[in-house]
Homo-oligomer: A and B are copies of this chain.
Amino acid sequence: MSTAAPASTFDTRTRILNLAEELLLARGFNAFSYQHIAKELQVKPAAIHYHYPSKEDLGTAVIRRQLGRLRKWRGLPRVTELTPAQQLEALLDVYRQRACAAHGPQVCFFGALAADFLTLPAAMQQELRTFSEELTQWLAGVLAAGRADGTLQFSGHPFSKAAQVLTTLAGALQVARVHGEGQFQYILKQLRTELLPAA
Contact segment of A37-45, A55-63, A173-181? A173-181
Contact of A118 among B26, B119, B160 (CB under 8 A): B26
Q: Could you tell me the distance between the alpha carbons of A157 and B179 in the complex, rounded to whole angstroms?
A: 18
Residue A155 at the chain B interface, CB threshold 8 Å: yes
Give chain A interface residues in 145-183, CB to chain B under 8 Å.
Answer: 155-157, 159-161, 163-164, 167-168, 170-172, 174-175, 177-179, 183
Nearest chain B CB to A68 CB, angstrom units:
20
Give chain A interface residues in 121-146, CB to chain B under 8 Å.
Answer: 125, 128-129, 132-133
Residue A189 at the chain B interface, CB threshold 8 Å: yes
Nearest chain B CB to A124 CB, angstrom units:
11
Residue A8 at the chain B interface, CB threshold 8 Å: no
Contact of A129 among B125, B161, B179, B191 (CB under 8 A): B179
Q: Let me know if A190 and B28 touch, CB within 8 A.
A: no
Q: How many residues belonging to A are interface residues under a CB distance threshold of 8 Å? A: 46
Residue A186 at the chain B interface, CB threshold 8 Å: yes
Contact of A167 among B27, B129, B168, B194 (CB under 8 A): B168
Nearest chain B CB to A127 CB, angstrom units:
11
Q: Could you tell me the distance between the alpha carbons of A110 and B111 in the complex, rounded to whole angstroms?
A: 12
Q: Let me know if A156 and B190 touch, CB within 8 A.
A: yes
Q: Could you tell me the distance between the alpha carbons of A156 and B112 in the complex, rounded to whole angstroms?
A: 29
Chain B residues with Cβ below 8 Å from A167 are 168, 171-172, 174-175, 187
Q: Let me know if B30 and A132 touch, CB within 8 A.
A: no
Q: Let me know if A178 and B117 touch, CB within 8 A.
A: yes
Chain A residues packing against B (C-beta within 8 Å) = 26-28, 30-31, 107, 110-112, 114-119, 125, 128-129, 132-133, 155-157, 159-161, 163-164, 167-168, 170-172, 174-175, 177-179, 183, 186-187, 189-191, 193-194
